[in-house]
Structure 1
Amino acid sequence: MSAELDPATLMKKQVGAAAAAMVKSGSIVGLGTGSTAAFMIQALGDRLKSGDLTDIQGVTTSFQGEVLARECGIPLTTLDMIDGIDIAIDGADEVDPDLNLIKGGGAAHTQEKLVEAFSKKFIVIVDSGKLVNKLNLNFLLPVEVIPKALNPVTKAIERLNGKVTLRMGVKKSGPVVTDQGNLILDVKFANGIDNAVELEKTLNNIPGVLENGLFVNMVDLVLVGEVIDGQPAVREIRR
């Protein structure tokens, strides 16, 4: 079966298109990062080309997203050129029952949080496998760290009973380096995260931490892609 006909791929494409359909002409749109967000960006580009959508500007959350948005013909702007963002659409690595998230599997969570916190409406697009009862049981929590602070930040997180691993690059020597020139620590708490709101504050108060991958009290709507009886479907979860 080709990738185009694979139900999981079709599901990602459908949930991306469903989110793109919520964007109105004249909007400033935060454009997320990742495979499902890529389908959303492509769907926005298709709407622009068809004339169904006009006069939008995108604000990207990663270099990867910037390249794709330009390829899809989406005009881009930056945070320092605008007063606000009407709607942001992005994926997530985990979503808990309170619609708190872990993001940062692609090491773009700092820019993502900046764009999404600046948005009037934040829509998350995921497949059903990203829905969890408790954060961090299966997915590590990314923490972006200034390189010179790597050792003291590691020790500070370990004092919080977190197991810390420096994220290493794939097909390259050395660690992953973010778009901001920093490093990523992936953190595992043995029993998961009990209080995401407090932990986000605690981690960000450690000197040398730029941002962590907990997104709390930010999400307005989650679009969940599912495959039911071999067919892709999308359902909504609202705050």
Structure 2
Amino acid sequence: MMKQEVGKAAAARVKSDSIVGLGTGSTTAYAIQYIGERLQSGDLKNIIGVTTSFQAEVLARKYNIPLSTLDVVDRIDIAIDGADEVDPQKNLIKGGGAAHTQEKIVDSLAEQFIVVVDGGKLVDKLGSTFLLPVEVIPKAVVPVMRKLEQLGGKPDLRMGVKKAGPVVTDQG
């Protein structure tokens, strides 16, 4: 399936009067768009979105999806989020979009969690096409890298493409 079709199928699972976790990524962006279109057409009513990233918040506002925060809502009925890789056992690598912490919190609180990916994200073994992202606070970079090496990993500090220095997540 194409990204647009996957996003539309996920958006179709959202019911009126629900609190929706709105995830991060290119396929999830289509789900957010279609949720907005359903609201606009009247097919969907009275939902509240809780976003996992700055990117998702910008998109939700663009499509006029009412938003709230984890401080205010008492539940999340359904969360829709992307993944970087998915293996046959449905294990995931997530976090490549630098929104690890908020994604984990929102997705884990959801009654129902829908992962939206196209066929290009399906792999036989995790780590085949995408390195495992690890979120680290700045003062812990060196000790965490040492620990990862002790565990057999080959950590590499990911640098920002259009800025000087390392990638900074939505949590700083």
TM-score > 0.5, shorter chain as reference:
yes
Q: Is the 8 A contact 2:83 2:92 kept in 1?
A: yes
Matching residue of 2:144: 153
Matching residue of 1:234: none
Percent identical across equivalent pairs? Answer: 71
The structure with the greater share of residues assigned to strand is 1
C-alpha distance in 2 between matches for 1:179 and 1:62: 6
Matching residue of 2:121: 130
* TM-score normalised per structure 1: 0.70
The one-letter code of the counterpart of 1:173 is A
User: Of the candidates 157, 165, 170, which is equivalent to residue 174 of structure 1?
Assistant: 165
Matching residue of 1:116: 107
Q: How does 1:164-203 map to 2 (within 5 A)?
A: 164-181=155-172
| Equivalences, count | 172
Matching residue of 1:90: 81
Matching residue of 1:62: 53
The one-letter code of the counterpart of 1:157 is L
The one-letter code of the counterpart of 1:73 is N
C-alpha distance in 2 between matches for 1:61 and 1:86: 15
* TM-score normalised per structure 2: 0.97
Please give the per-residue CA displacement for 1:189-238, whole angstroms capped at 9, x wherever unaligned: xxxxxxxxxxxxxxxxxxxxxxxxxxxxxxxxxxxxxxxxxxxxxxxxxx
Displacement over 4 Å in runs of 4+ = none
- Look at both structures and tell me which one has the larger radius of gyration over its CA atoms: 1
C-alpha distance in 2 between matches for 1:43 and 1:137: 31
Matching residue of 1:104: 95
Question: What are structure 1's unaligned runs of at least 5 residues?
Answer: 1-7, 182-239
